[in-house]
Amino acid sequence: MRVENPRYTERFGSVRINDVQSVLELDSGRAKEVPPEENIAALKVEEDVIKDYEEKMAIVIPTKDEKLKLFEGVISGVPHECLLIVVSNSQRKRVNRFQMEEDTLNQFCHFTRRQALIIHQKDPILAQALGEAGYDDLLDENGQVRNGKAEGMIAGMLMAMVAKKDYVGFIDADNYFPGAVWEYVKCYAAGLSMSESPYAMVRILWRYKPKLSLGMYFKKRGRVSEITNKCMNSLISVKTGFETEIIKTGNAGEHAMCLRLAKMLPYASGYAVEPQELVSIFEEFGGVLPMAHGKAAKHGVDVFQIETRNPHLHEEKGTQHLQEMLLPGLGTIYHSPLCEEETKQVILDELLQQYVIVPDEEPPKPRIYPPLKRVNLQKFSEIMEGYMGSYSAPGEK
Amino acid sequence: MRVENPRYTERFGSVRINDVQSVLELDSGRAKEVPPEENIAALKVEEDVIKDYEEKMAIVIPTKDEKLKLFEGVISGVPHECLLIVVSNSQRKRVNRFQMEEDTLNQFCHFTRRQALIIHQKDPILAQALGEAGYDDLLDENGQVRNGKAEGMIAGMLMAMVAKKDYVGFIDADNYFPGAVWEYVKCYAAGLSMSESPYAMVRILWRYKPKLSLGMYFKKRGRVSEITNKCMNSLISVKTGFETEIIKTGNAGEHAMCLRLAKMLPYASGYAVEPQELVSIFEEFGGVLPMAHGKAAKHGVDVFQIETRNPHLHEEKGTQHLQEMLLPGLGTIYHSPLCEEETKQVILDELLQQYVIVPDEEPPKPRIYPPLKRVNLQKFSEIMEGYMGSYSAPGEK
């Protein structure tokens, strides 16, 4: 893979936010000695380096009643070396959709000779392990893991830690193009390999997100992304005194990070999870609030934003869905201790204009889960490992 | 890449037509010793083997006034080791679209450190070289290469021979997904690597060809493909006496072959080119007509049909375009010396039903170009090599 070198980096405390880097070539061929001057503009990331990262990476696919054909396509696009971890909140009553997902994954893993994990979000062992490991924040009044994508992602990250992986990447199960999924993972690996710090995050920017309404219109950004990015940039600008447009992936569902970094971040519930990750990084490492992680702050945190070659084509969920996504995302920014009055006003104006709130209403405060370092991982692993066979694909028949 | 093993092969004389093989996994990871029993159902084609084939492969992209963004995406998806050969019939007057394509290709090659060739279909040197090499069949009354996709493909194959490649693959320039382009080339290489003969062809079958009319409908096959396949299967069935449905890629625009085979086949003009290739193979190697190629017939010809993981999403050209494609394709079958009365009737019925012909009308006989072995390649190369600099990207500035 060949990617643009980071041409511009903004700093916010010990966070290094790199400007967008485009993928130039999906497949840059065999390994070769490259004279250093050739890497000035474009960086060739060798296939072997990418595979080194993939081997240590878990790809978490949170899913809920997604079309089985799409799910099947998505898993077929994830490079072989990655450990697939499916966290499903699909229905199990009447039509057992979770069972279908398990069967699909089993069949795929059988023929491709690979290993994967699949777990239901409401799995009682998972809930028990979380409780005993001191992380019952994720559980509802019935003692089950709460609903929500964020909650599935958190369960997935913990499974990745049990499997002793170093990196975790997320991919949505509603993608139409296995080839795009493949590219996301390559971008994750390429980005992580560029990091100078063991604390890094890679966020994916789509070149286009085609709209199907009038034939095919290749839209650059969704409305929600535009507004979220604007507000997040305001958060930074007001603090630094220099206006910035550096953040272009505030809502990126497709992203990856070092588990070492993942352990340190508080997470927001539901759709607020992706913007909150950035907000958490700014809070923890921005140097404005007291910093809890001395060692990590010394290394700094690298944030990469990589623009794919493939457009992003996924199931359309309609405007309702978009509004559902806007509010929680802006809520994370609004309620951050970093957020000044100026940025708050920008957020309220945007929400009013989109008819998401009424005058004098505030966005609700997101539910925030504590960082995963709070989990007693040894305890959690002990319990989960006893049942690993039942979560493994191809399953024991 | 992991692909299904050929599970079923039909023979027609010395042609081995393999049933559809699906891609199971886009990226099957690092090279590894695979116990032979694991390759019973699915074949792991190692990345290194694929690259060996890519190095010897030219990817020909015939294009005509295609959207530049699509062209740019398509070239970015072609694996680095392949030699890109663009044969363009785009306009050069008023808005010089050919120049834009050249610029795009130059920029791409500059940043990705690769070599490519780009030539205009109406290039006077090309026409001169063809004339002097004894292949003026391709020229019109003005002494220029004729219009048409087939004509561009033939020019591309000759350029691949000048560049001393062993394989040629074709990719249309109107593809929306670079990741799908990437997969086509991997399938070409994987298929060619499976061949037991130095005379092989790989034809791509799309898993889905989504229709955008009503949201997104994942259609299996286009109407033209269905009818063409049916008629081509009838051609074989009537000859062998056993009904068959083996041909599923009669119209495959995406296909690749050994140049050794490519040299032997007569080609039809325009949209008839892809079905004619199969018809030519049946005529030359089917054992029904006298066989001209003793050595090749001894090796046999392998035809692979590989089903991609990615759906095929390209520019919609409307129904008019589809009818334009149906008639020439069926014409090649109809006018083949292999075609019996029974198959002719099937073809006429289909064309009548689609309102493409009126009663008592026959499909027109396609224009057939003689095999490329007729070209004096040494002469052709001598002339072209003198101008290679002007066809090369990145160009000499």
**B179: nearest CA in chain A?**
A179
The count of other CB atoms within 10 Å of the CB of residue A386 is: 11
Cα–Cα dist A72/A162, whole Å = 25
List A residues 108-137 in contact with B (Cβ-Cβ < 8 A). 108, 111-114
Q: Which of B339, B278, B276 is nearest to B305 (CA)?
A: B278
Of all residues in chain A, what percent carry a pLDDT higher than 90? 81
Query: If you average pLDDT over residues B204-225, what whole number do you get?
Result: 76
Whether the CB-CB separation of B89 and B63 falls below 8 Å is answered with yes
Which of A252, A280, A367, A275 has its CA nearest to residue A329?
Answer: A275
More confident residue, A318 or B198: B198
Among residues B372, B374, B373, B356, the alpha carbon closest in space to that of B364 is found at: B356
Q: Looking at chain B from residue 302 to 361, which residues have their Cβ under 8 Å from any Cβ of chain A?
A: 309-311, 313, 316
Distance of CA A132 to the CA centre of its chain: 26
Q: For residues B260-276, give the mean pLDDT.
A: 94
pLDDT in tens, A30-74: 988 878 777 788 999 999 999 999 999 999 999 999 999 999 999
Question: Quick check: B216 pLDDT over 70?
Answer: no
Which residue in the set A25, A80, A176 is minimally distant from B25, CB to CB? A80
pLDDT of res. B271? 85
Question: Which backbone phi and psi does B290 adopt, to 5 degrees?
Answer: -60, 135
Which residues lie below 8 Å from residue B236, measured CB to CB, with a gap of 6+? B10, B12, B244, B246, B247, B282
Which of A194-198, A279-283, A296-300, B288-292 is least confident?
B288-292
Task: State the average pLDDT over residues B136-158.
Answer: 96
User: Smallest CA–CA separation between B294 and chain A, in Å?
Assistant: 38
Interface membership of B216 toward A (CB under 8 Å): yes
- A42 alpha carbon, distance to own chain's centre: 25
The strand pair at A301-307 and A200-205 is best described as parallel
More confident residue, A222 or A340: A340
pLDDT tens, position by position, B239-254 = 999 999 999 999 999 9
In the predicted model, what is the mean pLDDT of chain A? Answer: 92
Q: How buried is residue A215: exposed, middle or buried, by Cβ count under 10 Å (0-12/13-18/19+)? A: exposed
pLDDT of residue B397: 47
CA distance B136 to A104: 55
DSSP state of A251: T
Contact A268, A364 (CB under 8 A): no
Residue A175 has pLDDT above 70, yes or no: yes
Name the residue with tokens 């950035």: A278
Pairing of strands A21-25, A301-307: parallel
What is the average per-residue pLDDT within B371-391?
96
Give the pLDDT mean for A240-249. 94
Provide, as residue numbers in chain A, all residues whose Cβ is less than 8 Å from the Cβ of B176: 210, 216, 311
Is the Cβ of A140 closer than 8 Å to some Cβ of chain B?
Answer: no
Mean pLDDT value across residues B166-183:
95
pLDDT higher than threshold 50 for residue B78 = yes
Tokens coding A263:
């352990």
Residues in chain A with CB shorter than 8 Å from the CB of B29 are 51, 54, 79-81, 114
Q: Is residue A397 predicted with pLDDT exceeding 50?
A: no
- Token duo for residue A272: 């607020």
From the CA of A73, how many Å to the nearest CA of chain B?
7
**Which of B7, B25, B314 to probe the A interface (max A CBs under 10 A)?**
B25
**When comparing pLDDT for B227 and B270, which is higher?**
B227
8 A C-beta contact, residue A130 and residue A380: yes
Contact A283, A332 (CB under 8 A): no
Place of tokens 């062209």: B71
State the distance between the two ends of chain B, measured CA to CA, in whole angstroms. Answer: 39
User: Are β-strands A21-25 and A2-4 bridged in parallel, bridged antiparallel, or unpaired?
Assistant: antiparallel
Which of residues B30 and B216 earns the better pLDDT score?
A: B30
Among A92, A90, A97, A85, which residue's Cα sits nearest to residue A61? A85
- Residue B308's nearest CA partner among B188, B204, B170, B174 is B204
Query: In this predicted model, what pLDDT tens digit does every residue of B311-334 receive, in sequence order?
Result: 888 776 665 666 788 999 999 999
pLDDT digits (tens, 9 = 90+) for A311-352: 888 776 665 666 788 999 999 999 999 999 999 999 999 999
Q: Is there a contact between A177 and B215 if contact means CB atoms under 8 Å apart? A: no
Q: Which residue of B7, B21, B113, B317 to mutate against A (max A Cβ within 10 Å)?
A: B113
Poorest-pLDDT segment among A288-292, B81-85, B120-124:
A288-292
Give Cα B372 to chain centroid, integer Å.
Answer: 15
Question: What is the structure's pLDDT at B318?
Answer: 63
Q: Which residues contact B393 (CB under 8 A, 6 or more apart)?
A: B84, B102, B105, B106, B108, B109, B115, B116, B117, B118
Amino acid (1-letter code) at residue A389: G
CB B248 within 8 A of CB B301: no
State the CB neighbour count (10 A cutoff) for residue A214.
7
Are the Cβ atoms of A25 and B80 closer than 8 angstroms?
yes
Distance CA B64, CA B291 (A): 37
Q: Which of B276, B270, B281, B233 is nearest to B251 (CA)?
A: B276
Q: Above 60 in pLDDT, residue B386?
A: yes
A387 lies within 8 A of chain B by CB = no
Scan residues 274-313 of A and list those with Cβ closer than 8 Å to B: 309-311, 313
- For chain B, say whether A62 makes contact (Cβ under 8 Å): no
| Nearest in space to A27 (alpha carbons), one of B372, B3, B189 | B189
